[in-house]
Every structure is written in structure tokens, then in C-alpha cells.
């Protein structure tokens, strides 16, 4: 059943239904009319002007018709006051009669004809005498009686009567217009000031009124009195407007006064603010409950449904019969619950979509395959666990764990509950030095005491680049009173002699406490060319090239040249650069010739890669060519340096090695004294290769050397052989003997110009060189003669 919340014109709501207004009423509330169509509103009813005998009406009757006088709300016939000219509305009696009539008890009586004057005097005198106690308080007296009384008196049937205390002025016996100093006038009644205190929160300083009223009261129009609010109001603005409601009343947006909460229908939770929770099927609108749309069991303030009755589904905020959804055959909980055959609900349950049978054709086989895979996985994992356990058991068979009390091993307390059989560990048993880059083994027994099982592990410090240490077993769990024999393997990466510590880490499985204890060990290796970078001291930079930087430094008291390979940041050397470096180190390590620079060793530790050779005090031959004049270096010294270099080349060739980069830069000068055994030595063997390798399966695919010193066959990419080294040495001799560049830069501005000159069959012309020396140079460039014979001829040449 539905209830009306708003009616059309000329109707009002009564018990949830629209009822027609009373006749003549425009707006009606209950049985009372609030506004009339045409006429006068009085006491909730509508009247015509004639019905109330009104002659002039403006909002209210201003003047009555003939034969009627005006009362407060209506016009009354003068018939009961015949012969009266003035009628008192308050006294409801005549106050002045027509001529020829006397006023007696509020009525007009005809005067006697004879001796009228004497009778009047007689009557008047008697009247004055009879009422002497009252009329002497009259302020204005007429023949009809008193018209106005003195203060403190009121007019009652033409006589003055005293006002009742505490009134000092009054208009009748019950209505005061003025009060004494101890009272306050409130709506025609004098009340004691004490009663004013009860309703005033803040009183005027004159005690004649209130500045602020207590809750439940409002200021009167005169601004002094506090009148009680309507019973529905807890606080109010005036008699017709509540600010907050009393208990069991609520604030309504359509009424200024609060309404009784009993009028809140279909409300589950009633408050002074109105309804906060409605029954199912209703929603809150302006603090009251309004009915939802049809078939809704719940909805929101926008009248959109949130749940529906049975057999209805929710679609876009409305409840529709489930059959309105294609292929839906039943519903529940405001959604379609079942679709027709071959259809199924979508994920949102708001549509019936055609059902594909992919599951039967694809899903089931996939599930079967998955089950098979899972079974196989379980089998494989089981086998893996069994194999792992087998390995662990096998590993434990190789691990020596023994009970301390039953062994002859003497254990010492190291720290807390850790026991060891040695105070320190030495890898140099019987003072025998261990080899570099080979593992050396030592044994250490570690045991436990105290409560609980203990897990033991041996570790080394981080970032150790001088050696590697590994242990077997890596970790072991032991009971209290047991010990394990650990195998400790050390692999030195370079020549070293050091004392260091490794760490014994123990975890008590009962207490969860982890303890780390340092254990000392010492190691000394055999001498090798793999140097420890900590023994090198760099002093200053000697030069820099694409390969790296050369420093002057010291190594074990010897002045050395340290060739440090270039590396960017923390990156390691590229494989090609490292391979070339290792090749040069390998070559130098094999050489045992006084005409080849002495090789101390190399550092292979990442980020520290370098090579250490003996230091040449005077630098290279190229340095001398740049900084010394031709007359500063005698010919005898030049010949001696070339002889030393030729002996170095002969040593290389006799051992099947090609230098491939012979030039003044790679001939180091150690002395200017021609009587010294050795004045110059060969260096830089990064490009050197085995002759057999080059001549059998390798052609020139990479430009090794400097174009100035390249042989023609090298430039033409032919096989690299020994004559190529001799050709480079011939150009070097040419520059040494002439003490100038073989190819001046003003004639050969670009390197390829040199290549064009050489491959074109051209040769250098003799200048500032003797014919005898130039002949040796020419023979060095001749590819037909045997290389060894050329070298021997050069070495046996008389230098002086």
C-alpha cells in the first residue's frame, strides 16, 4: 500500500491520503484552514464579508456594517445595546447613550418627562453620593459617568476601581499595564523579579527584562521578556520557529516547529534530527522516510534501487522482472541466478552469454596433462630428495666426526664452547715453502662442549685477493663433546709471506647464539714471477701509452719500471688486452739473455694488473734521439747500442721468436760507457710470436708495429718471417747512425704516404752515414740472404 507525500491543489494529506479542502479554503492543514480563496479567515474557518457583517476589510475587518459594532474578531449586532452611541468592547457594555437616555448598569434607559432637570440632578447627586468612594479617583467625569481613571485604578461600568497589587496601572481587573519596582510586566500580568531570574540567562542591569534567555525560552517583541518556547522546541527563535527539538520531537524541513516523532512512519531509528534509518523499501529524504520505486526492497537517496524483490533483477538502478533479461529463467538476490540451456552467466552476473564447450575439448585434456606433470614433478622431486640424502650420507662418510673422549687428539679451548687441536695453523710444515697457484692442504680439528648441538663453519675475510681458502666439509653440525677434522686448502695467487686469520663461526642450535672467533695461520710461498702488488712501491710516472702507464718504482730494494695496464674504474681488462699481456709475461719469463731487459715478474690480480722490469736510467733510444744532439752521442756508442740490440734479436730468432715491433722506442739504454758489457737491451714483447706459428698457419691480419718500421711484405699482408724483424732493425740503425727520422714529416705528412713509398719499391738514400755502415743497413733490408748470416756479420763487424 502506498502513501501520498504531496497532493494537488484544493486537497490536503490526511492519514496518508489526499482529502478535498473545506469549501472556500485554498490551503488546509488538518481541520484548520490556513488560507481562504475569497473572504475572511477566522478561527481556522473561512467566512464571507456578509457572514460577519463587515463593511471594510483589509487583512482583517476594519469597519463593521450599519447596526453592528466591532469586536476583536467579528462584528456584533447593536440590538442588545439599544439607544447606545458608544460600546466598550472590553467591558461589553454601553458607555454613552443617545440624548434622552440615561446610562444605567451599562444600558440606556429613557429619561422621565416631568421635571426632567430636577430628576437628573437628583439622580446625579444620588449617584455621586452613592459612589463617592470610587468616583473620586476619576480623572475625567461626565454626566454618563467616569470616562478615565487616575493611575492605580481602572474603569468598570463608568466607575473607577483600584488595581490589584502589584499593578500600578491596569486596564481591567486582570490586565496590568504597569507594575511596581519589585515586579515585571509580562503579557498584562505583574510577576516578581524572582520569576524573571528563572527564565533569564543574562538579565538587564535595570532588572526590567532579559538580555539573553534560558534554553526553552525566546525574547518577546519588546525585547525584554522571555516567553516559553513551543512544547516541541528545546530551543527556539520565536513562538513559531524551533532551533532544536525536544525529546520525542524531530526537525522537519517543511515545518518551522518540530513535529512529533510518532509522525515519522516507516522509520527504524528516530532521532531529534529526524530519521537516520528507514525500513526496507524506504529511503531517507529530508530527514523523513520516502517509499522506494516499485519492486525495490532498498534504495538510496537518488531513488536508485540497491536490492529488489524476488523474481526481479537490478539493472541500472531499477528493478526489472528477470524475464526482461534475455535467456534468464530465474533470479535471486537481485541478480539472474540461472540461464537457459546452452547459456551461462557472465562474471558480473548481469548477462546470459552463449556457453562455449571449449572446456570439454581443451580444458579437460589440459587438466589431465597438468595432473600428469604434477605427478611427474612429485616423482622427480622425491627422487631428487632421495639422491640428495644419498649424497649427504656419502659426504658424511668422508667427514671425520669423532668423540673427543675416545680419541687421542688433545683439544684446547679456543673461545666459549669451541675446542681446537692447534693454537695456530702453518702451511709450511718443516719450513717447506708452498708453490704458487697450487692447493696446499692442512688439517684442523674443531670440537664443541657445553649444552646443545653446534653448527660449525670456517670462513675467510672478504675481498682477499692474495689467496683462496676452501674447507672440507664447508659446514658441519655436531653434538656436544664431539669434534670434526676439517681439511683446509690454500691456493696462493702470488708470491707471498703472510700471517692472517680465518674465522670459525659457531651457532648454538639450542640458544640461537652465533659466535665468530679468529684463528691465526701463516703461509710462505716459493719465489715466482707472479708478484704481490703490496711489495711494489710506485714513485713517479715515466710515460703513458695506449697499453697503460709506466711508473718508476722499487721492488724489494731494486729500482724497477712498473708497466701498469689501463683499466676503466672497477672493470677488468678486456680479454684481448689480457691475452696480449699474458703473452708478453710468458715470453719474458722464458728469456735468459743479458741483451733483453730483465723481467722481475707480473701482477695478475684484477684491478692491479702490471709488469715489473729492470729500470733503464737513460730511457729508450727514441728518447735520446729527441732530447740529445748528434754530437752528444759518439758513433762508437751508437754502434755499441746497435750491436747489443742485434745480439738480443739473434737470441730471439735462435729461439724461434719474432719480436714484430723493433724500433728505437723498444731499445732501452742503460749506460753511456762503451766499456760496459751491455749498453742497450730489447724490451716490449707484447707483439712477439713463435716463428712456426706465424709461418704455418697465420698471415698478417693485424697491423703489428709502427708503419715507419714495417717491412714491405708486412704492408702487403704477406706471411710474417724473420726478415721483417731485420728490416725494422735496419730502419732503426738508419735513424741511430744518421740521428734523425728516417721519413721526415715535411715529406711524409701521413702514415700511408710511407706505405706507398715502401710498397712502390723505393728505398731510403744515404745521408750523413758512411758507406760501410749504409751497406750493413742495405744488407739488413735484403730478404734473399739468410737472416742468421746478416746478424753474425753485424755482430762481428769491427766497431772501432
Cα atoms in the Cβ-side hemisphere of radius 13 Å centred on 701: 4
Give the 3-state secondary structure of residue 739: coil
Residues 584-614 as b or e (16 or more Cβ within 10 Å = b): bbebbeebebebbbbbbbbbbbeebbbbbbb
CB 391 within 8 A of CB 384: no
Give the 3-state secondary structure of residue 767: coil
Q: What are the backbone dihedrals phi and psi of residue 44, each rounded to the nearest 5 degrees, phi first?
A: 75, 10
Smallest Cα–Cα separation from 524: which of 548, 499, 505? 499
What's the grid cell of residue 251? 526537525
Smallest Cα–Cα separation from 727: which of 777, 794, 691, 797? 777
CB 210 within 8 A of CB 203: yes
Positive or negative torsion for Cα 251, 256, 258, 262? negative
User: Hey, how many other C-beta atoms are within 10 angstroms of the C-beta on 191?
Assistant: 18
**CB-based burial of residue 711 (10 Å sphere; 0-12 exposed, 13-18 middle, 19+ buried)?**
buried
Distance (Å, whole) CA 285 – CA 266: 12
Smallest Cα–Cα separation from 601: which of 126, 610, 592, 593? 610
What's the grid cell of residue 159? 466607575
- From start to end of 214-324, where are the E strands? 217-219, 226-228, 233-238, 241-245, 249-250, 259-260, 267-271, 274-278, 282-285, 288-291, 296-299, 305-308, 312-315, 318-321
Distance (Å, whole) CA 414 – CA 420: 6
Enumerate residues 6+ apart whose C-beta is below 8 A from 408: none
What's the grid cell of residue 613? 722490469
Q: Maximum distance among all alpha carbons in the chain?
A: 202
The per-type count for the chain, helices as H runs and strands as E runs, is: 14, 62
**How far is C-alpha 530 from the chain's CA centre?**
53
Q: What are the backbone dihedrals phi and psi of residue 365, each rounded to the nearest 5 degrees, phi first?
A: -60, -40
Smallest Cα–Cα separation from 561: which of 619, 604, 609? 619
Give the CA distances from residue 546 to residues 566, 572, 685, in Å, rounded to whole numbers and listed in that order. 8, 16, 15
Smallest Cα–Cα separation from 667: which of 638, 634, 710? 638
Which ranges constitute the DSSP H helices of 660-786?
A: 691-697, 712-715, 722-738, 751-759, 771-781
Residue positions annotated with a catalytic role:
661
Give the 3-state secondary structure of residue 667: strand
- The DSSP letter of residue 679 is S
451 is in an annotated binding site: no
**CB-based burial of residue 56 (10 Å sphere; 0-12 exposed, 13-18 middle, 19+ buried)?**
exposed
Q: What are the backbone dihedrals phi and psi of residue 147, each rounded to the nearest 5 degrees, phi first?
A: -100, -25
What's the grid cell of residue 89? 468592547
Unique residue bearing C-alpha cell 528516530: 270
Q: Binding site for ATP, residues? A: 564
Q: Binding site, residues? A: 564
Amino acid at each position: 500500500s502506498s502513501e501520498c507525500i504531496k497532493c494537488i491543489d484544493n486537497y490536503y494529506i490526511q492519514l496518508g491520503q489526499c482529502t478535498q479542502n473545506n469549501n472556500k479554503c485554498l490551503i488546509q492543514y488538518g481541520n484548520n484552514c490556513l488560507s481562504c480563496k475569497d473572504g475572511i479567515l477566522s478561527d481556522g474557518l473561512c467566512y464571507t464579508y456578509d457572514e460577519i457583517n463587515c463593511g471594510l476589510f483589509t487583512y482583517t475587518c476594519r469597519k463593521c456594517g450599519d447596526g453592528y459594532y466591532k469586536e476583536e474578531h467579528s462584528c456584533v449586532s447593536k440590538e442588545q445595546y439599544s439607544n447606545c452611541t458608544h460600546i466598550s468592547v472590553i467591558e461589553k457594555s454601553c458607555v454613552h447613550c443617545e440624548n434622552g437616555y440615561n446610562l444605567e448598569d451599562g444600558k440606556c434607559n429613557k429619561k422621565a418627562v416631568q421635571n426632567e432637570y430636577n430628576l437628573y440632578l437628583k439622580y446625579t447627586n444620588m449617584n455621586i453620593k452613592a459612589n463617592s468612594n470610587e468616583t473620586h479617583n476619576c480623572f475625567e467625569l461626565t454626566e454618563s459617568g467616569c470616562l478615565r481613571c487616575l493611575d492605580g485604578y481602572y474603569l468598570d461600568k463608568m466607575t473607577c476601581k483600584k488595581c490589584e497589587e502589584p499593578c500600578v496601572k491596569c486596564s481591567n481587573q486582570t490586565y496590568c499595564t504597569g507594575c511596581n519596582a519589585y515586579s515585571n510586566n509580562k503579557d498584562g500580568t505583574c510577576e516578581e523579579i524572582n520569576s524573571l531570574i528563572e527564565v533569564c540567562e543574562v538579565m538587564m542591569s535595570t532588572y526590567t527584562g532579559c538580555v539573553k534567555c534560558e534554553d526553552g525560552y525566546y525574547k518577546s517583541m519588546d525585547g525584554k521578556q522571555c516567553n516559553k518556547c513551543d512544547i516541541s522546541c528545546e530551543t527556539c527563535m520565536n513562538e513559531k520557529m524551533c532551533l532544536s527539538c525536544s525529546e520525542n520531537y524531530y526537525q522537519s524541513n517543511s515545518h518551522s516547529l518540530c513535529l512529533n516523532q510518532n509522525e515519522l512512519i516507516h522509520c527504524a531509528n528516530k532521532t531529534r534530527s529526524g530519521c537516520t534509518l528507514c525500513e526496507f523499501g524506504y529511503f531517507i529524504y529530508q530527514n523523513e522516510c520516502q517509499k522506494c520505486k516499485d519492486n525495490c526492497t532498498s534504495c538510496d537517496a537518488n531513488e536508485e534501487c540497491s536490492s529488489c524483490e524476488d523474481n526481479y533483477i537490478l539493472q541500472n538502478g531499477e528493478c526489472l522482472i528477470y524475464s526482461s533479461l534475455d535467456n534468464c529463467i530465474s533470479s535471486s538476490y537481485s541478480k539472474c541466478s540461472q540461464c537457459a540451456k546452452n547459456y551461462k552467466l557472465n562474471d558480473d552476473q548481469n548477462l546470459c552469454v552463449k556457453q562455449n564447450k571449449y572446456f570439454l575439448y581443451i580444458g579437460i585434456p589440459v587438466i589431465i596433462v597438468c595432473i600428469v606433470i604434477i605427478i611427474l614433478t612429485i616423482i622427480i622431486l622425491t627422487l631428487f630428495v632421495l639422491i640428495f640424502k644419498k649424497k649427504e650420507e656419502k659426504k658424511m662418510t668422508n667427514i671425520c666426526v669423532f668423540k673427543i673422549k675416545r680419541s687421542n687428539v688433545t683439544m684446547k679451548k679456543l673461545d666459549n664452547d669451541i675446542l681446537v687441536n692447534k693454537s695456530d695453523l702453518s702451511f709450511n710444515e718443516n719450513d717447506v715453502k708452498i708453490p704458487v697457484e697450487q692447493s696446499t692442504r692442512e688439517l684442523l680439528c674443531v670440537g664443541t662442549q657445553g649444552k646443545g648441538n653446534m653448527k660449525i663453519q670456517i670462513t675467510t675475510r672478504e675481498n682477499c685477493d692474495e689467496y683462496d681458502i676452501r674447507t672440507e666439509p664447508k659446514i658441519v653440525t655436531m653434538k656436544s663433546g664431539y669434534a670434526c677434522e676439517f681439511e683446509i686448502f690454500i691456493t696462493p695467487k702470488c708470491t707471498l709471506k703472510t700471517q692472517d686469520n680465518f674465522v670459525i663461526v659457531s651457532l648454538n642450535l639450542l640458544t640461537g647464539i652465533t659466535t665468530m672467533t679468529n684463528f691465526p695461520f701463516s703461509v710462505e710461498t716459493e719465489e715466482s714471477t707472479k708478484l704481490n702488488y703490496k711489495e711494489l712501491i710506485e714513485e713517479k710516472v715515466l710515460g703513458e701509452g695506449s697499453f697503460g702507464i709506466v711508473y718508476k718504482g722499487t721492488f724489494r730494494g731494486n729500482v724497477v719500471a712498473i708497466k701498469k695496464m689501463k683499466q676503466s674504474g672497477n672493470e677488468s681488462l678486456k680479454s684481448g688486452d689480457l691475452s696480449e699481456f699474458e703473452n708478453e709475461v710468458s715470453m719474458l719469463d722464458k728469456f735468459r739473455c743479458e741483451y733483453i731487459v730483465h723481467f722481475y715478474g707480473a701482477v695478475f690480480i684484477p684491478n692491479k694488473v702490471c709488469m715489473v722490469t729492470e729500470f733503464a736510467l737513460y730511457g729508450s733510444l727514441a728518447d735520446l734521439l729527441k732530447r740529445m744532439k748528434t754530437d752528444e752521442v759518439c758513433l762508437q756508442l751508437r754502434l755499441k747500442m746497435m750491436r747489443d740490440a742485434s745480439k738480443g734479436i739473434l737470441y730471439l730468432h735462435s729461439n724461434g721468436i719474432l719480436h714484430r715491433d723493433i724500433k728505437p722506442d723498444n731499445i732501452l739504454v742503460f749506460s753511456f760507457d762503451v766499456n760496459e758489457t751491455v749498453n742497450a737491451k730489447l724490451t716490449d714483447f707484447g707483439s712477439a710470436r713463435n716463428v712456426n706459428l706465424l709461418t704455418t698457419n697465420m698471415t698478417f691480419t693485424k697491423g703489428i708495429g709502427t708503419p715507419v718500421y714495417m717491412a714491405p711484405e708486412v704492408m702487403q699482408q704477406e706471411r710474417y718471417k724473420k726478415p721483417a724483424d731485420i728490416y725494422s732493425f735496419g730502419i732503426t740503425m738508419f735513424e741511430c747512425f744518421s740521428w734523425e727520422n728516417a721519413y721526415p714529416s715535411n715529406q711524409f705528412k701521413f702514415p700511408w704516404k710511407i706505405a706507398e713509398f715502401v710498397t712502390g719499391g723505393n728505398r731510403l738514400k744515404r745521408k750523413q752515414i758512411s758507406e760501410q755502415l749504409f751497406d750493413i743497413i742495405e744488407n739488413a733490408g735484403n730478404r734473399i740472404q739468410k737472416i742468421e748470416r746478416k746478424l753474425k756479420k753485424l755482430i762481428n763487424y769491427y766497431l772501432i
